[in-house]
């Protein structure tokens, strides 16, 4: 039984919430429209803002298979679409030979049949699935190159793949396509125009606290608030690579593992490598900046106890 | 009821179309297909909520993060006051959203006027000094050594011709893609099987493949501030020649800010290309801020365009006017993010050049190659240097 797609934006918000994804109405609108109109959704944003997670959530909540294609430079048809298992094919040729000669057409038909075809992600996404069309995640498309983009453009147009010796494979129902990009390279406009575009920004403090509450529930509220405040102050600085949501969650969990109840200079200095990954950024924050940031978030904290009393 | 709904929908479609056109005039590339899809999307989201309509249109009309601001302004302007609709259809929206456009175009033509004036003045002054155009090797030799600063208008035109026709050998680098090639070393299994089947599998025909090579990326970052104005023009001509000769050239100019002019260089006529480029540059205060511009490059562009094995050519005299950003840190990061950093400095035309100024001293330790850039000979040697330094020579 295929679970139905969300019928309106509110149902889409419910879908995201069911999958433990904290997103706002704008994302839900874009996602709803892309599901409704059968077009891919193109998620762009800095690394670590939760683009890949959306695909996981959609696949989990709608109970579909998730087929993931990780892009890299030099990704070609053999790794992305299909490849013939030529070792087996050669053995098959030798075996048929040893049993006596066989007509060429028969041999070709046998050699180029489905049992010798290795199906890679893009081909598998076109195959019928009992649970409904799968979610095809094309991750980090900016890491691939232009020839692959051109191939993908064609595929997203008509959802069919032609294998010369085999035939044309068509999808009865096209898969749900989610494309992500870290924007290290500009993707060609033609591809973006086919999709619904959405730029994922870093979340605001309230939303990031909600995310931490879901993903790292063992943390105390106080520490959680401090962590989020600290990360938001850090993101305001001129860093080479701002910390993403994944880094926030990792850092919060590591602080909890180290049994810290609140942020202080020592615990920050020893765990800063989980939050920042570039030496220049670490040097910038560890210096005098650390004192400034701590006092600015400490000042916020001091206000709330007086409000209680 | 039905006719009401139909009319309502017709009005919505026409509104969305006009909105799309307005955005297109403001610079967003929106095609007819997107407008049609936008109308369909709007019917799915319903029209009760402005926010929903916003995001429905946003997903189709916006394709880059820079466009979000224009879309937001356009949307609030367009859908808030309906009576503006009529007027807006006739106004060029780009004049509303980008007020500095008019200034920069004026400034651009002013700069061109300046450049022309300089050229005229030079011509007037240098008439008696002009080299006799006897043609032949001796003229070319002398022209090659002539400092750009001292060239007359005719000589500048001749120099432009020389640059355009310069042989530009290309450094290539191997990629991860293979293609069929008889002289390759690696066996291409798929093609071999296919070829062997023709003989019923009895005879194994081997097919080979080889790596593809592509030209490596060259990034030119050119200082166009006051002190460099005489040299930058001709060096940008060289950048244009390079860009039209090979695919992977990116060009930036800076004075107090960095601007990417790569797409203007795609125009085939170099003078027109540079005119368009200089018009788009919004940087006429005349100061030099090398550190800030390199900081901008490192943070915003280096990860997007450098790729593997890139060569950066930095063209500046190193006379930094700003002490805010740490110049040596930015140069260090620049050098570490590319394969080779070449610094072209016109001040090297003085034989007794010594690194005395703060800027030059901060930059020099982080540079792989330090070369002059004041005459055609130096440009020729630069193009020679660019062709070297590839990891290996592609097999013939």
B221 plus B366 within the same structural domain: yes
Would B130 be classed as within a structural domain? no
Phi, psi of B189 (to 5 degrees): -65, -45
What is the interface size between A and B, counted as CB pairs within 8 Å? Answer: 100
Q: For strands A167-170 and A160-163, give the pairing.
A: antiparallel
Residue among A8, A25, A104 minimizing CB distance to B200 = A104
- Closest partner CB to B34 (pick from A83, A185, A193): A193
Q: How far is B341 from chain A (nearest CA, A)?
A: 20
Is pLDDT at B388 greater than 60 in this prediction? yes
Do both B292 and B206 map to the same domain?
no
- B56, A89: Cβ pair inside 8 Å? no
Domain annotation covers residue B312: yes
Do B221 and B303 fall into the same domain?
A: yes
Same domain flag for B294 and B371: yes
> Quick check: B197 and A193 CB within 8 A?
no
* Residues B190 and B306 placed together within one structural domain of the fold: no
Are residue B209 and residue B221 in the same domain, yes or no? no
Same-domain pairing of B324 and B291 = yes
State how far residue B177 is from chain A, nearest Cα, in angstroms.
5
Assigned domain for B222 exists: yes
In Å, what is the CA distance from B87 to each residue of B13, B61, B70, B95, B208? 18, 22, 19, 14, 66
Domain locations along chain A: 9-76+120-200, 82-117, 205-304
- Residue of chain B whose Cα is closest to the Cα of A73: B176
Contact B56 A73 (CB under 8 A): no
Q: Which residues of B touch A84 (CB under 8 A)?
A: 190, 193
B34 and B77 share a domain?
Answer: yes
Contacts of B41 in chain A (CB under 8 A): 33, 37
Find the helix or strand (DSSP H, E) in which B208 lies.
strand B208-215
Q: Which positions in chain B touch A8 (Cβ < 8 Å)?
A: 46
Smallest CA–CA distance, residue A156 to chain B, in Å, is 16
Question: Angle at CA B383, nearest 5°, toward B380 and B384?
Answer: 90
Cβ–Cβ gap B201/A29 under 8 Å: no
Rounded CA separation B104/B142 (Å): 38
CA distance linking residue B210 with residue A77, whole number of Å: 17
The reply to whether residue B60 touches residue A186, judged by beta carbons under 8 angstroms, is no
Quick one: pLDDT band at residue B87, thresholds 50, 70, 90?
A: low
pLDDT at position B394: 52
Say if the Cβ atoms of B197 and A192 lie within 8 Å: no
CA distance B228 to B317: 7
> What is the pLDDT at residue B126?
39
Q: Are residues B209 and B301 both part of a single domain?
A: no
Tell me, yes or no, whether B156 lies in a domain: no
pLDDT at residue number B195: 78
Do residue B65 and residue A111 have CB atoms under 8 angstroms apart?
A: no
Q: Do A78 and B190 touch (CB under 8 A)?
A: yes
Contact (Cβ atoms closer than 8 angstroms) between residue A242 and residue A202: yes
ipTM of the complex: 0.82
> What is the residue range of B59's domain?
2-97
3-state DSSP assignment of residue B343: strand
Which pLDDT score, from 0 to 100, does residue B81 have?
Answer: 64
Q: Are B235 and B183 part of one and the same domain?
A: no
Q: Which of B97, B119, B140 is at the close of a domain?
A: B97
- Pick the last residue of a domain from B37, B69, B97: B97
Residue B51 lies in a domain: yes
Q: Which residues of A touch B48 (CB under 8 A)?
A: none
Q: Could you say which of A8, A108, A196 has the minimum Cβ distance to residue B59?
A: A196
Say how many domains are in chain B: 3
Residue B116 lies in a domain: no
Report chain A residues whose CB lies below 8 A from the CB of B202.
Answer: 97
In Å, how far is B136's CA from the nearest CA of chain A?
46
Is B52 an 8 Å CB contact of chain A?
yes
Q: Of A218-227, B81-90, B149-158, B259-268, which range is least confident? A: B81-90
**Segment (H or E) for B259:** strand B258-260
Measured between beta carbons, which residues in chain A are less than 8 angstroms from residue B303?
Answer: 184
The residues in B 297-356 lying below 8 A from A, measured between CB atoms, are 298-299, 303-305, 329, 333
Q: What count of Cα atoms within 13 Å lies in the side-chain half-sphere of residue B28?
A: 33
Which range has the worst mean pLDDT, A6-15, B151-160, B195-204?
A: B195-204
Task: Verify whether the Cβ–Cβ distance A101 to B200 is below 8 Å.
Answer: yes
- Using pLDDT thresholds of 50, 70 and 90, give the confidence band for residue B308: confident
The architecture in CATH of the region A9-76+120-200 reads 3-Layer(aba) Sandwich (3.40)
B370: CATH: 3.40.50.410
> Which of B49, B66, B75, B200 best tests the A interface by mutation, with the highest count of A CBs <10 A?
B200
Question: Chain A: nearest CA to B44, how far in angstroms?
Answer: 7
Interchain proximity A30–B201, CB inside 8 Å: no
Whether this prediction's pTM lies above 0.90 is answered by no
Give percent of chain B with pLDDT exceeding 90: 8
Confidence of residue B137 (pLDDT cuts 50, 70, 90): low
Same domain? For B228 and B318 the reply is yes
Q: SS3 for B79?
A: helix
Q: What is the band of B160 on the pLDDT scale with cuts at 50, 70, 90?
A: confident
Nearest residue of A to residue B28, measured between CA atoms: A189
User: Residue A76 and residue B177: Cβ atoms within 8 Å?
Assistant: yes
Tell me the three-class secondary structure of chain A, residue by residue. Answer: CCCCCCCCHHHHHHHHHHCCCCCCHHHHHHHHHHHHHCCCEEEEECCCCCHHHHHHHHHHHCCCCEEEEECCCCCCHHHHCEEECHHHHHHHHHHHHHCCCCCHHHHHHHHCCHHHEEECHHHHCCCCCCCCCCEEEEECHHHCCHHHHHHHHHHHHHCEEEECCCEEEECCCCCEEEEEECCCCCCCHHHHHCCEEEEECCCCHHHHHHHHHHHCCCCCHHHHHHHHHHHHHHHHCCCCCCCCHHHHHHHHHHHHHCCCCCCCHHHHHHHHHHHCCCHHHHHHHHHHHHHHHHHHHHHHHHHHHHHHC
**pLDDT tens, residue by residue, A9-65:** 999 999 999 998 988 899 999 999 999 999 999 999 988 888 999 999 999 999 999
Domain contains B139: no
Same domain, B228 and B366: yes
The predicted structure's pLDDT at residue B371: 86
The predicted pLDDT at position B38 comes to 92
CB contact under 8 A, B201 and A107: yes
Judged by CB atoms closer than 8 Å, whether chains meet at A74 and B176 is answered as: yes
């Amino acid at each position: 039984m295929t679970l139905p797609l969300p019928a309106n934006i509110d149902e889409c918000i419910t879908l995201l919430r069911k999958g433990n994804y904290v997103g706002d109405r704008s994302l839900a609108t874009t996602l709803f429209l892309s599901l409704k109109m059968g077009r891919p959704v193109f998620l762009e944003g800095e690394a670590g803002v939760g683009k890949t997670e959306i695909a996981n959530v959609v696949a989990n909540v709608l109970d579909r298979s998730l087929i993931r294609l990780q892009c890299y430079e030099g990704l070609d048809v053999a790794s992305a679409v299909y490849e013939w298992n030529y070792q087996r094919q050669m053995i098959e040729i030798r075996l048929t030979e040893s049993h006596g000669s066989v007509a060429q057409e028969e041999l070709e038909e046998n050699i180029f049949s489905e049992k010798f075809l290795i199906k890679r992600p893009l081909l598998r996404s076109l195959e019928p699935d009992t649970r409904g069309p799968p979610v095809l995640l094309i991750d980090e498309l900016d890491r691939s190159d232009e020839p692959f983009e051109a191939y993908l453009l064609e595929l997203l147009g008509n959802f069919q793949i032609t294998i010369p010796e085999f035939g044309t494979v068509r999808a009865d129902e096209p898969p749900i396509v989610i494309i992500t990009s870290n924007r290290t390279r500009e993707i060609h406009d033609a591809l973006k125009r086919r999709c619904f575009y959405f730029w994922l920004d870093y979340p605001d403090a309230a939303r990031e606290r909600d995310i931490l509450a879901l993903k790292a529930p063992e943390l105390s509220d106080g520490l959680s608030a401090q962590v989020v405040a600290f990360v938001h102050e850090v993101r305001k600085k001129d860093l080479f690579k701002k910390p993403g949501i994944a880094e926030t969650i990792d850092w919060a969990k590591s602080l909890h593992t180290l049994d810290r109840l609140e942020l202080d200079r020592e615990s920050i200095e020893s765990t800063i490598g989980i939050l920042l990954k570039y030496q220049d950024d670490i040097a910038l924050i560890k210096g005098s900046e650390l004192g400034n940031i701590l006092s600015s978030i400490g000042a916020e904290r001091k206000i709330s106890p007086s409000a209680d009393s | 009821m039905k006719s009401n709904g139909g009319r309502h929908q017709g009005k919505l479609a026409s509104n969305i179309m006009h909105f799309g056109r307005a955005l297109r005039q403001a610079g967003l590339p929106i095609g007819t297909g997107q407008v049609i899809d936008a109308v369909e999307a709007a019917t799915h989201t319903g029209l009760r909520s402005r926010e929903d309509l916003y995001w429905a249109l946003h997903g189709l009309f916006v394709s880059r993060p820079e466009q979000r601001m224009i879309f937001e302004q356009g949307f609030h302007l367009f859908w808030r006051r309906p009576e503006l609709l009529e007027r807006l259809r006739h106004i060029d929206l780009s004049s509303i959203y980008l007020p500095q456009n008019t200034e920069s175009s004026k400034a651009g033509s002013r700069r061109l006027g300046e450049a022309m004036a300089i050229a005229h003045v030079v011509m007037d002054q240098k008439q008696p000094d002009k080299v006799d155009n006897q043609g032949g090797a001796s003229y070319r030799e002398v022209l090659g050594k002539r400092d750009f600063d001292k060239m007359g208008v005719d000589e500048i035109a001749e120099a432009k011709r020389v640059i355009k026709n310069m042989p530009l050998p290309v450094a290539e680098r191997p990629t991860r893609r293979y293609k069929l090639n008889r002289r390759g070393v690696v066996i291409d299994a798929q093609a071999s099987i296919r070829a062997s089947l023709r003989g019923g599998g009895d005879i194994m025909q081997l097919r080979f493949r080889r790596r593809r090579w592509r030209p490596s990326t060259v990034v030119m970052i050119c200082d166009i501030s006051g002190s460099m104005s005489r040299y930058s023009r001709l060096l940008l001509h060289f950048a244009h020649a390079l860009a039209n000769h090979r695919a992977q050239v990116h060009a930036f100019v800076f004075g107090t800010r960095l601007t990417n002019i790569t797409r203007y260089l795609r125009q085939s006529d170099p003078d027109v290309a540079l005119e368009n480029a200089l018009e788009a540059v919004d940087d006429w205060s005349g100061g030099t801020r090398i550190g800030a511009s390199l900081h901008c490059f490192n943070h915003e562009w280096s990860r997007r365009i450098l790729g593997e094995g890139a060569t950066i050519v930095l063209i500046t005299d190193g006379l930094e006017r700003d002490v805010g950003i740490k110049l040596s840190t930015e140069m260090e990061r620049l050098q570490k993010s590319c394969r080779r950093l070449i610094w072209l400095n016109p001040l090297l035309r003085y034989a007794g050049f010594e690194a005395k100024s703060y800027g030059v001293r901060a930059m020099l330790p982080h540079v792989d190659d330090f070369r002059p850039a004041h005459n055609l000979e130096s440009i020729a040697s630069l193009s020679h240097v660019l062709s070297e330094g590839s990891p290996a020579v592609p097999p013939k």
